[in-house]
Structure 1
Amino acid sequence: FLKNVVNGIEIYSMKIDSKVTSRFARNVITSRAVNRGNVHKEVFFDVELPKTAFITNFSMTIDGVTYPGYIKEKEAAKQEYEKAVSKGQTAGLVKASGRKTEKFTVSVNIAAASKVTFELTYEELLKRQFGKYEMFIKVKPKQLVKDFEIDISIFEPQGITELEAEGTFITNDLQNVIKKTFSDKKGHISFKPTLDQQRTCANCSQSLLDGDFTVKYDVKRTTPDNLQIVNGYFVHFFAPTNLPQLPKNIIFVIDISGSMSGREIEQTREALLKILDDIRDDDFFNFILFGSDVHTWKEKLIKATPENLDEARKFVRGIDTEGMTNLYGGMMKGIEILNAAHEEKFVPKRSASIIIMLTDGQPNVGISNTEDIRTHVKKAIEGKYPLYNLGFGYGVDYGFLEKMALENKGLARRIYPDSDSALQLQGFYDEVSNPMLMDVELHYPENEISGLTKNSFKHFYDGSEIVVAGRFADINQNSLTVDVKGEGANDVLSFTTQQDAEQTAKAFQEQEYIFGDYIERLWAYLTIEQLLEKRTAATGEEKENLTAEVLDLSLKYKFVTPLTSMVVTKPEDYDNQAGIADKTTEGFPISSITMYYFFLKPLPPAPSFALVPPRFCLGSTYFKAF
């Protein structure tokens, strides 16, 4: 028994309860702890969440009394925090982030023999990549837990075709503890290891539960799309299969400035060589290198013949670093070559053009003002093809890269400077290497729909999915017809879908799998996510309007977004402690969650032997003794 008590604090229960309905996941993490010691202890609750998730609820229950969290406009919560600081009260700031996750932290000082329950809820829309939806859970309790459980229920009205569950910490013995079942529309995964199964060895007190737990699944697709209508809201999933692949025209714009020397340029060469192995014979490609000067492999796009690919491999092996960072020159040269290929009809009319730019620094040669660069790049591309910006390491102006990508129908991605950086680069290329459709438009009757999310997409890539949601102008309307058009490899493809609320209701008779108004919340989630993207590159009045819209939706649907905070306050008779949870988007870490924690009554100073262990992850509870 004592082996799962760490210096007086025992986490005796931890549960992750997830419900997924039509790709929209609601996750509830509950952690219960008791102070077995004979003095007050500060107990911390740390959770690492997916960056794409929004916290929607948090509460602490101490000795049977629950203290809920309240979503507030961020500035109001910040003022509450600063007021406490101005009075000289103890304040702390916690900030942390991983590649896929961001951290939520809260703490409470509890008396001897007292119990505390933490409950956190977050929601997210699962994205489809490489033909599967993925749910990612970070597991790291750092303590043996008597009652530990992950329970995931999935309901998909289209039907489930495959379901996988794996953990980076799963041993052969633990593999049998994962219980997985699925049939027709329902899937279920349970992972409930005993105390002995959690141990690293027979008599050890260390836990094996340390790593990532991942669930992947896909749905049946008898038609290219699926439309669902519930209570005046709809969601439309579009993912056609078995289409011929479009040829692609791809320009790689690579930073070779001095800061890329060593491991970074080695990994870049390694990734590009692997990418060359995957380029198809009907693709066109070229490399632009920029240091202080701009170097091109060829003056125009080159067809991916075996001979040209061999020559390209020699060129890539010889890439080395030099000089400073003429990002503007490299970008404009790449755009110029791609534009010329289209104007001269050198590439097929039905082909998908892409620019991928990789940099690890900030522009400092030629035009170095990032706003000027964005203006020139947007004018040169004119919306004709997407720009994908990859920021390598910590020295990049990631905000600039993100704005420039979003303005040009692409996205930015951070490449982390680890041993697998080459795999990260290659993995991103794999996501965009199989375009199946261009200029996809999903048309909904204008007079029937309001609050429509993004419905125009430059490219549809194999293994992904387009999701559009909206609400009916008349909440009593219960049917919808949608027309979808896109440019395929051989011709224009058209799809028409009709659906009514009654058909959806028939598919959703298993009510225990449904959590409330999930389509309305999915619509709100997707709308907020896309408005935040628009807001990233907006200025002036447009930014103000977007900010107001995001704030209104965040407060209405109780999402912790970059514009809101969750405030948790305990009454005065319990040290009147309060906390503020934020979600930010600027700089690094990307979208980190920050937890401000302060005490409205000063605590006694910690003695020199106070133990402050490292911060732990999913539902971990730890303490600081005073």
Structure 2
Amino acid sequence: MIIDGVTYPGVIKEKEAAKKQYETAVSRGQTAGLVKASGRKTEKFTVSVNVASESKVTFELVYEEMLKRHLGKYEIFIKVQPKVLVKNYQIDVDIYEPQGISFLDAEASFITNDLLPAIKKSFSGETGHISFKPTLDQQRSCPNCSSTLMNGDFIVTYDVNRESPGNIQIVNGYFVHYFVPPKLSGVPKNVVYVIDRSGSMSGRKMEQTKQALLKILNDTAEHDYFNFIVFDTDIIVWRDSMVKATPENLKQAKQFVRNIKDGGATNINDPTLKAVELLNNAYDLKQVPDKSVSLIILLTDGEANSGESNPSRIQENVKKANKGKYTLYSLAFGYGVDYPFLEKLALENSGVARRIYEDSDADLQLEGFYNEIANPTLLDVQMQYPENAIADVTKNSFKQYFDGSELVVAGRITDNDLNSFTIDVNAEGADQPLKYSENIDLQEKDDANKKLQYIYGDFIERQWAYLTIQQLLEKRIHADPSEKANLTAKALELSLKFNFVTPLTSMVVTKPEDKENEEESLIADKFVEVDSDPHFVINVPQKNDALCFNINEQPGVVLNLIEDKKLGIAVNGELIGDKTTNATLKSTETYFGKLGIVNKKINLRIEVTTDAITVMDGDNQTTFSWLDTVTVDRKGFNLAISNSDNVKLSFGEEATFVIVRHEVWKDNPVHRDYLGFYTIDDHAFSEEVHGLLGQFFHGVDYEISDIHSTADPNKPDATMKVKNKLLTVTRGIQKDYRDGSADNNEIPCWFVHSNAEGLIDGTHTDYIVQDIFSIA
């Protein structure tokens, strides 16, 4: 945002934090902007902008898009809707493709003969260019009109040359593999069309559905097999078995489609299970080829309200019956559908959900979807990469490949000394197994990689992150609650690290106020970005979740965090308060101002304050400042100071702590610098370890039930059963600095109230000790 000539960049934050920052600015009449993902998708965004009075603001939005290949081409859609005549209107598209461009075209949905000359196209080798620069007269809806005819999509389409099936880009230790096999014979497909004919499908929706089905039948290959199930309250099966797409069968199927009548309620469970049964019987009785692709295409415009109407039970029934054998696609016609239910139903059965919009071209939308899956050419595609040399690979196993599409896999290369990169793709074709292999000499590709690095920068790494986030978000749709929390945390971590706007994050941009006024208002709003009232985040790996709690005590109190009598190790923290008791700026926040680490066995004491780190090794004492970059490596422990804001301390290989120094601005009238303490590895501690943190090092067992909404829809309450007690806990977000950075990640956790009473052993006052070096 450029506000009165000054540029303010957007910042990616957890979506609730971003929303609050934006709403706070708007409530004060300030200029602010918010970009958030629309609904559950990462490809669609909503932009909100508030402009303060008498301000001049320019809002610039830069975005990246991963193009997906459909029907043999990539498409770039640019929405054109200026609403007025524009003196200097121009679209420029520059394309660089390392494999070379095979064709390039551009068109617009609003194009006329007068506008056509305004589109210029050229391409050669690796580069292509499109420009669209209409004059004022070309933009006019009629020769003397002041209105514009430019209203619609400007569409660029292109494809690339493919010397081999696999195109791989490797830059900065990350790879992306784009796989498109050569032209192959089609694999027979078996399709069961499960079509809603309930009362809500009456009128234009039913007519459009019929038109689409008739066109699809016209395009059905003769080696395919198909059947129809139509449903309302009851179900009607066209044939009692799958039938081959002979001319006679297609003719009879068209007549059946024309005679479909609407009426009744919506029973989704029974027809979907019947579709699975038809396909099972077809394979058991050898009615369809062994090497074939089997699909269930479910089309509905409503919610299940007949037969089994519980969405969870329908999902469970279909998943149990299907057993992962057949791909199910859910087509949601209009906005009256339960889209999350249909999406989960599809994802649990290897498919996807697609929304069909209630427009004049709904029949074309249905046909377009069918065309994407009309010609499968490979089954059971397995993509393999060098073992022990890669990590964090995205999805690399696919049930089928459809002609005209593309399979994309990304990952991280962990072997820095790797000289070559081998790709093996194994799949089943229409007639025989197929294998594609490619070996890339990484040393020979050095010059090419330098060119790619110059052009793409960190693009390959970002594409890996994007694919990983997409797949984590997809998995969490049908994950159980404990796994869902873990998937959410991972997706949120990557979204924040790579600055992506996703369903978990938003971009916010505001104009900062004067610092003193800003500090007062932040305190007034209790929107303080500090690690206050020492909060603790307890990871619970066995549940893929986390617990968190705060301890509220007075400044000067020393709390025992870890005490292991067997190992002779203890960690204690002293609380500090804010600088002032000024009534207008009064804050009751407390923080860790001093930490003490003691190891009796090696006669070591370490004192960490916001000013210095002092190591007392026997009779020797050494003091370091936070500005030092130093590593102390002595028998029994290792200490490293880096980045002016964190200290990492290890006892042996499996007891590692991080202390983060949080700085506030120098003349802050209220807050002072403070410390955060985090455990990275706790495996070395004995079974006797205790303390506010230590007692959880060997796990904690609890059960969550009765999750219910509260006044804040983002913070539901629940009942936690732990240590034979029932506690009320709240779902929330806590900051997590365990990676050693002063920049925080935010992770979801169950917050335990009242100083963690009921969760910790005893009460929090049992953990108050005499000084920072106290140990039993």
Interval of TM-score (by shorter of Structure 1 and Structure 2): 0.7 to 0.9
- Residue 136 (structure 1) shift: 0.8
Q: Report the counterpart of residue 385 of structure 2 in structure 1.
A: 444
> Is the CA contact 1:71–1:558 (under 8 Å) kept in the aligned structure 2?
yes
Q: Report the counterpart of residue 105 of structure 1 in structure 2.
A: 48
2:465 matches 1:541: no
Q: Report the counterpart of residue 625 of structure 2 in structure 1.
A: none
- Residue 398 (structure 1) shift: 0.4
Q: Which stretch shifts more, 129-138 or 498-507?
A: 498-507
User: Could you say which structure has the greater relative contact order, defined with CA pairs below 8 angstroms and 6 or more residues apart?
Assistant: 1
Structure 2 residue corresponding to 1:150, chosen from 69, 77, 91: 91
Q: Report the counterpart of residue 192 of structure 1 in structure 2.
A: 133
> Is the CA contact 1:551–1:563 (under 8 Å) kept in the aligned structure 2?
yes
- Distance 1:91-1:121 versus aligned 2 partners, 3 A rule: closer
- Distance 1:167-1:503 versus aligned 2 partners, 3 A rule: farther
1:260-409 equivalence runs, <5 A = 260-409=201-350
Aligned-partner Cα distance in 1 for 2:37–2:191: 36
Q: Report the counterpart of residue 513 of structure 2 in structure 1.
A: 572
Q: Which runs of 5+ in 2 are unaligned?
A: 523-776
> Is the CA contact 1:146–1:194 (under 8 Å) kept in the aligned structure 2?
yes
- Residue 551 (structure 1) shift: 0.7
Structure (1 or 2) with the larger CA radius of gyration: 2
Q: Report the counterpart of residue 75 of structure 1 in structure 2.
A: 16
2:355 matches 1:414: yes
1:237-256 equivalence runs, <5 A = 237-256=178-197
1:105-184 equivalence runs, <5 A = 105-109=48-52, 111=54, 115-184=56-125
2:375 matches 1:434: yes
- Residue 265 (structure 1) shift: 1.5
Q: Report the counterpart of residue 5 of structure 2 in structure 1.
A: 64
Aligned-partner Cα distance in 2 for 1:103–1:455: 32
- Residue 500 (structure 1) shift: 3.9
- Residue 196 (structure 1) shift: 4.2
- Residue 115 (structure 1) shift: 4.6
2:473 matches 1:532: yes
> Is the CA contact 2:32–2:511 (under 8 Å) kept in the aligned structure 1?
no
CA RMSD of aligned residues (A): 2.9
> Is the CA contact 1:436–1:459 (under 8 Å) kept in the aligned structure 2?
yes
Aligned-partner Cα distance in 2 for 1:208–1:265: 32
Aligned-partner Cα distance in 2 for 1:142–1:374: 45
Cα shift readout 1:555-596 (whole Å, capped 9, x = no counterpart): 111111010111111133799999xxxxxxxxxxxxxxxxxx
Aligned-partner Cα distance in 2 for 1:476–1:117: 48
AA aligned to 1:570 is: K
Aligned-partner Cα distance in 1 for 2:506–2:222: 52
Aligned-partner Cα distance in 2 for 1:118–1:537: 37
1:562-601 equivalence runs, <5 A = 562-572=503-513
> Is the CA contact 2:32–2:510 (under 8 Å) kept in the aligned structure 1?
no
Q: 3-state DSSP class of the match of 1:120?
A: coil
Q: Report the counterpart of residue 498 of structure 1 in structure 2.
A: 439
- Residue 211 (structure 1) shift: 1.4
Q: 3-state DSSP class of the match of 2:229?
A: strand
Aligned-partner Cα distance in 2 for 1:534–1:547: 10
Q: Report the counterpart of residue 205 of structure 1 in structure 2.
A: 146
Q: 3-state DSSP class of the match of 2:10?
A: strand
> Is the CA contact 1:357–1:389 (under 8 Å) kept in the aligned structure 2?
yes
> Is the CA contact 2:36–2:501 (under 8 Å) kept in the aligned structure 1?
no
> Is the CA contact 2:34–2:507 (under 8 Å) kept in the aligned structure 1?
no
Aligned-partner Cα distance in 2 for 1:94–1:205: 33
> Is the CA contact 2:85–2:139 (under 8 Å) kept in the aligned structure 1?
yes
Aligned-partner Cα distance in 2 for 1:214–1:512: 28
Structure 2 residue corresponding to 1:463, chosen from 404, 407, 426: 404
Q: 3-state DSSP class of the match of 2:177?
A: strand
Aligned-partner Cα distance in 1 for 2:345–2:366: 19
Cα shift readout 1:403-446 (whole Å, capped 9, x = no counterpart): 11011110000111122111111111111110000111101233
Q: Which stretch shifts more, 97-106 or 65-74?
A: 97-106
> Is the CA contact 1:287–1:298 (under 8 Å) kept in the aligned structure 2?
yes
Q: How many residues align?
A: 517
**What TM-score, normalized by structure 1, do the two folds share?**
0.77
- Distance 1:566-1:475 versus aligned 2 partners, 3 A rule: farther
- Distance 1:503-1:138 versus aligned 2 partners, 3 A rule: farther
- Distance 1:199-1:87 versus aligned 2 partners, 3 A rule: closer
- Distance 1:264-1:83 versus aligned 2 partners, 3 A rule: same
Aligned-partner Cα distance in 2 for 1:219–1:89: 47
Aligned-partner Cα distance in 1 for 2:173–2:292: 39
Q: Report the counterpart of residue 473 of structure 1 in structure 2.
A: 414
Q: 3-state DSSP class of the match of 2:90?
A: strand
- Residue 314 (structure 1) shift: 1.4
Q: Which stretch shifts more, 496-505 or 427-436?
A: 496-505
- Distance 1:289-1:203 versus aligned 2 partners, 3 A rule: closer
Cα shift readout 1:66-117 (whole Å, capped 9, x = no counterpart): 1111111112223435667899999999999899954423232363xx7533
Q: 3-state DSSP class of the match of 2:464?
A: helix
Aligned-partner Cα distance in 2 for 1:478–1:63: 53
Cα shift readout 1:290-334 (whole Å, capped 9, x = no counterpart): 111111001110111111111111111111112111110110011
Q: Which stretch shifts more, 512-521 or 273-282?
A: 512-521
- Distance 1:179-1:513 versus aligned 2 partners, 3 A rule: farther
- Residue 513 (structure 1) shift: 8.1
Q: Which runs of 5+ in 1 are unaligned?
A: 1-59, 579-626
- Distance 1:408-1:354 versus aligned 2 partners, 3 A rule: same
> Is the CA contact 1:249–1:352 (under 8 Å) kept in the aligned structure 2?
yes
1:13-52 equivalence runs, <5 A = none
Aligned-partner Cα distance in 1 for 2:261–2:391: 53
- Distance 1:261-1:208 versus aligned 2 partners, 3 A rule: closer
Cα shift readout 1:493-527 (whole Å, capped 9, x = no counterpart): 00111224455554467679824211111111111
Cα shift readout 1:190-244 (whole Å, capped 9, x = no counterpart): 2233444433345543333321111110011121111121110001111112211
Cα shift readout 1:454-499 (whole Å, capped 9, x = no counterpart): 1011110000000101111235545311110111100000011122
- Residue 289 (structure 1) shift: 1.1
Q: 3-state DSSP class of the match of 1:572?
A: coil
Q: Percent identity?
A: 61
Q: Report the counterpart of residue 608 of structure 1 in structure 2.
A: none
Q: Report the counterpart of residue 499 of structure 2 in structure 1.
A: 558
- Distance 1:556-1:235 versus aligned 2 partners, 3 A rule: same
- Distance 1:145-1:502 versus aligned 2 partners, 3 A rule: farther
- Distance 1:181-1:63 versus aligned 2 partners, 3 A rule: same
- Residue 532 (structure 1) shift: 1.1
> Is the CA contact 1:230–1:504 (under 8 Å) kept in the aligned structure 2?
no
AA aligned to 2:52 is: N
- Distance 1:297-1:226 versus aligned 2 partners, 3 A rule: same
Aligned-partner Cα distance in 1 for 2:331–2:279: 19
- Distance 1:512-1:340 versus aligned 2 partners, 3 A rule: closer
AA aligned to 1:108 is: V
- Distance 1:485-1:152 versus aligned 2 partners, 3 A rule: same
**What TM-score, normalized by structure 2, do the two folds share?**
0.63
Q: Report the counterpart of residue 560 of structure 2 in structure 1.
A: none
